[in-house]
Structure 1
Amino acid sequence: MFENLTERLSQTLRNVTGRGRLTEENIKDTLREVRMALLEADVALPVVKEFVARVKERAVGQEVSKSLSPGQAFIKIVQSELVSVMGEANESLNLATQPPAIILMAGLQGAGKTTSVGKLARFLKERHKKKVLVVSADVYRPAAIKQLERLAEEIGVSFFPSQSDQAPIAIAQGAIEHARKQFYDVLLIDTAGRLHVDGEMMDEIKALHQAVKPIETLFVVDAMTGQDAANTARAFNEALPLTGVILTKTDGDARGGAALSVRHLTGKPIKFLGMGEKTEALEPFHPDRVASRILGMGDVLSLIEEMERKVDKEKATALAQKVQKGKGFDLEDFRDQLAQMRNMGGMMGLLDKLPGVSGLPDNVKDQIDDKLTVRMEAIISSMTPAERRHPDIIKGSRKRRIALGSGVQVQDVNRLLKQFDQMQKMMKKMSGKGGVRKMMSNMKNMLPPGGFGRGPF
């Protein structure tokens, strides 16, 4: 998300670098470019006008501090205003009530509501250790009930059964009663998708809200609809007392207009971002971190948190001990590292959170393809256990067999073995005195000549 906006703003903000003082005259062109970048990102016009006005008010005439260049001072102002327009800080779910805490999910048809219920259930179960029950009150789409049942089974939370011939209020009340008796911490209620112009359907969800009195009413909306997402959220907010928004499909949205418009137009915070199809692809929305990513400064905090959650600590400890004992680093270990990287969103998912990556040349970015990681895993999987433990035995006929088994060319196998050899040497240096320092100084050896890869790798 925000790829286009990041690129435009990064180019634009370089124009103020080197100024001795920020004046209305020398930032006029920059502000015009900022305005155009936001409009192209499909940010709502009222949001753009107020944002540019506030940046101008704060920037014009500001004396540059001794520690900052004018460009840095201006970027700091832009970052601060981006944070402000998106809501200052993450607003977590309010679960402070007599259990079960009821969360009602509302939204348009096709916004990803049922999937978001599954993602949120997993989030609450795994990160907050809550006992979660889910129920579908979507009586207009029987497939939605089955979908939620499958999701509940997949993530290991309880599902309260419902039928398409039942009334939504009756379904919800039955689920609440069951949740109380079985001591569930949280009840998530999925509802039918509806249009804000459909008076009958809006009356139905109003009645459902009144009957269950949820502590959280979350509006699920597709980020790819841009500023329309914010306008729809505003219309729903007039009918329902929304407490927050979940933006879905943000991994497919290169603009980011919805994220920058929702809070301003609705007054309601974005609480979560849906970052993909998998049930773990739901992240709390942190305006300060998102602002840093928009400006190409990365999001190291989120990267650290993700590594804490997703890195297999037992495997990491075992590998570290193995290397320290001088037992070497083999292709089995290399495959484990590739799998863990893929589990954390792949190479591009990791790089997106690192500062300065937005400034990489396009030809380098184009070569960072997560399909390559999968292909590398396939090559290693086509080897025998002996070959993975002792790569030195992989010669001509073995290479041809491995290439055939993994659907690649022999030169691709050679390239993988060369990269592995470089990584193995780096691991050996880690096992010695001053290992970490040596590893950092040799990190570039993990990359093939010319940057992030030539050809398939």
Structure 2
Amino acid sequence: MFENLSERLSRTLKNVSGRGRLTDDNIKDTLREVRMALLEADVALPVVRDFVKRVKERAVGTEVSKSLTPGQEFIKIVQAELEAVMGESNEDLNLSCQPPAVILMAGLQGAGKTTSVGKLGKLLKERQKKKVLVVSADVYRPAAIKQLETLASDIGIDFFPSSVDQKPVDIAKAALEHGKLKFYDVVIVDTAGRLHVDEEMMGEIKDVHKVLNPVETLFVVDAMTGQDAANTAKAFDETLPLTGVILTKVDGDARGGAALSVRHLTGKPIKFLGVGEKTDALEPFHPDRVASRILGMGDVLSLIEDLERNVDKEQAEQLAKKFKEKKGFDLEDFLGQLKQMKNMGGMMGMMDKLPGMSQLPDNVKDQVDDKMFGQMEAIINSMTPGERQRPEIIKGSRKKRIAMGSGTQVQDVNRLLKQFTQMQKMMKKMQKGGMKNMMRNMKGMMPGGGMFPGR
């Protein structure tokens, strides 16, 4: 997400970052570029106008901090205003009420409501240790109820049965009663997709809302619809009292117009981002971290949280113990590292959150292909336990057998062994000289010899 905007803004702001002083003229040129970048990202015009006006007001005649150059100060202002447009800070779900706390999901058809219900249920169960019940009041879409039941079963949360011959209001009432009776912390209600102009359908969801009196009414909207997402949310809010927005499919949206328009146009916070198809691909929305990503500064905090959630601590401890005892790093360990990386959204998912990665040349980005991880995994899986522990024995005929078993070429096996050898050397350096040595080694391995090529 924000790929195009990030690229444009990074290029534009680079021109101003080295300036000794900011004048009306060089700010004017930069702001024109910023305006164009935002419009190309499909950010709503009123949002762009307001944003550019506020940046200009703050930049002209601003007090420059002693530790920053005027150019850096300008970038700092742009970042602060990006955060302000998106809502300053993360707004969590308000679940402080007499249980069960009811969350009502609304939105257009195909926005990803049902999937979001499952993802949100999983997030609340795993991260907040809540007892969650989900129910579908979508009696119009064939298989909607079955879809949620299957999802709930996969995730391990409870599902309240309903059927297409029931009225949505009756389903909602029964689910709420069951939630109270069985002491659930949270009840999430999925509803049918509807248009705000459909009076009958809007009347129906208002009745459901009245019966449930939810603490959260979340509008689920597809990020790929750009500023239209914000306009639809605004129209819905006029009929239904929304408390927040879930932006889905942001992994397929390179522009980011929806994220930058929703708060300004609706006054409602974005609470979550749907960042993929997996059931754990739902992230709390942090405007400060997103602003940092837009400006190519990465999102290290989210990366650390990903690490804490996805890294197998037992496996990490075993590897650390191996290191302490000066035992070698073998292909079994390498396979473990590949799997952990895959759990964190692959290399591209991680790179997105690392500072300076937006400035990597395209030819380097193209080499980082997550499909390669699958291929590498297949190659290692085709090896015997002995070969994984002693890769040096893998010669001619063994290479042919491994390539055939993994559906790859001998040169692919050679490439993997070369990458493994580099990793092994790096691990040895780490054992000898600690983290400093490893960082120096990694720096040498980076294109251009440094973390930020071209700077």
TM-score (norm 2): 0.97
User: For 2:98 and 2:110, how far apart are their aligned partners in 1?
Assistant: 32
Shift of the 394–451 alpha-carbon distance from structure 1 to 2, 3 Å rule, reads farther
Contact 2:443 2:449 in 1 (8 A): no
Contact 1:423 1:446 in 2 (8 A): no
**2:204 aligned partner:** 204
User: For 1:297 and 1:429, how far apart are their aligned partners in 2?
Assistant: 29
User: For 1:71 and 1:88, how far apart are their aligned partners in 2?
Assistant: 23
Report the AA paired with residue 306 of structure 1.
Answer: D
User: For 2:393 and 2:164, how far apart are their aligned partners in 1?
Assistant: 62
Report deviation, 1:437. Answer: 2.2
Report the AA paired with residue 437 of structure 2.
Answer: K
Do residues 127 (structure 1) and 145 (structure 2) align?
Answer: no
User: For 1:451 and 1:330, how far apart are their aligned partners in 2?
Assistant: 28
User: For 1:78 and 1:439, how far apart are their aligned partners in 2?
Assistant: 35
Report deviation, 1:445. Answer: 6.8
SS of the aligned residue for 1:218 comes to: strand
**2:365 aligned partner:** 365
Contact 1:22 1:63 in 2 (8 A): no
Alignment of 1:247-266 (within 5 A): 247-266=247-266
Structure 1 runs not aligned, ≥5 long? 453-457
When structure 1 is superposed on structure 2, of 130-139 and 417-426 the one drifting more is 417-426
SS of the aligned residue for 2:133 comes to: strand
Report deviation, 1:385. Answer: 1.2
User: For 1:152 and 1:235, how far apart are their aligned partners in 2?
Assistant: 31
User: For 2:336 and 2:358, how far apart are their aligned partners in 1?
Assistant: 28
Report deviation, 1:322. Answer: 1.4
When structure 1 is superposed on structure 2, of 263-272 and 366-375 the one drifting more is 366-375
User: For 1:412 and 1:444, how far apart are their aligned partners in 2?
Assistant: 25
Runs of 4+ residues over 4 Å off in structure 1:
444-452
Report deviation, 1:142. Answer: 3.5
**1:4 aligned partner:** 4
Alignment of 1:55-454 (within 5 A): 55-432=55-432, 434-444=433-443
Report deviation, 1:431. Answer: 2.7
Report deviation, 1:379. Answer: 0.7
Report deviation, 1:66. Answer: 2.5
Report deviation, 1:367. Answer: 1.3
Contact 1:21 1:62 in 2 (8 A): no
Report deviation, 1:451. Answer: 10
Shift of the 446–313 alpha-carbon distance from structure 1 to 2, 3 Å rule, reads farther
User: For 2:366 and 2:23, how far apart are their aligned partners in 1?
Assistant: 38
User: For 1:55 and 1:182, how far apart are their aligned partners in 2?
Assistant: 52
Report deviation, 1:70. Answer: 1.7
Provide Cα deviations, 1:18-56, integer angstroms capped at 9, x if missing partner. 323222222111100000000000000000000000001
SS of the aligned residue for 1:106 comes to: strand
User: For 1:352 and 1:346, how far apart are their aligned partners in 2?
Assistant: 10
Count of residue correspondences: 451
Provide Cα deviations, 1:252-310, integer angstroms capped at 9, x if missing partner. 00000000000000000000000000000000000000000000000001100110111
RMSD value over aligned CA atoms?
Answer: 1.5
Report deviation, 1:438. Answer: 2.1
Report sequence identity in percent: 77
Report the AA paired with residue 394 of structure 2.
Answer: I
Report deviation, 1:147. Answer: 0.5
Report deviation, 1:449. Answer: 11
Contact 1:13 1:30 in 2 (8 A): yes
User: For 1:112 and 1:388, how far apart are their aligned partners in 2?
Assistant: 42
Report the AA paired with residue 398 of structure 1.
Answer: R
User: For 2:345 and 2:208, how far apart are their aligned partners in 1?
Assistant: 37
SS of the aligned residue for 1:183 comes to: coil
Report deviation, 1:338. Answer: 0.4
Shift of the 39–438 alpha-carbon distance from structure 1 to 2, 3 Å rule, reads same
Provide Cα deviations, 1:120-173, integer angstroms capped at 9, x if missing partner. 000000000000000000011231100000110011000000000001111111
Provide Cα deviations, 1:302-348, integer angstroms capped at 9, x if missing partner. 10011011100010001110122122111011001001001001111
Provide Cα deviations, 1:85-118, integer angstroms capped at 9, x if missing partner. 0000000000000100000000000000000000
User: For 2:411 and 2:450, how far apart are their aligned partners in 1?
Assistant: 18
When structure 1 is superposed on structure 2, of 381-390 and 273-282 the one drifting more is 381-390
Provide Cα deviations, 1:171-207, integer angstroms capped at 9, x if missing partner. 1111111111111100000000001111110110011
When structure 1 is superposed on structure 2, of 54-63 and 206-215 the one drifting more is 54-63
Report the AA paired with residue 406 of structure 1.
Answer: S
Contact 1:64 1:70 in 2 (8 A): yes
When structure 1 is superposed on structure 2, of 173-182 and 269-278 the one drifting more is 173-182
SS of the aligned residue for 2:375 comes to: helix
Contact 1:133 1:186 in 2 (8 A): yes
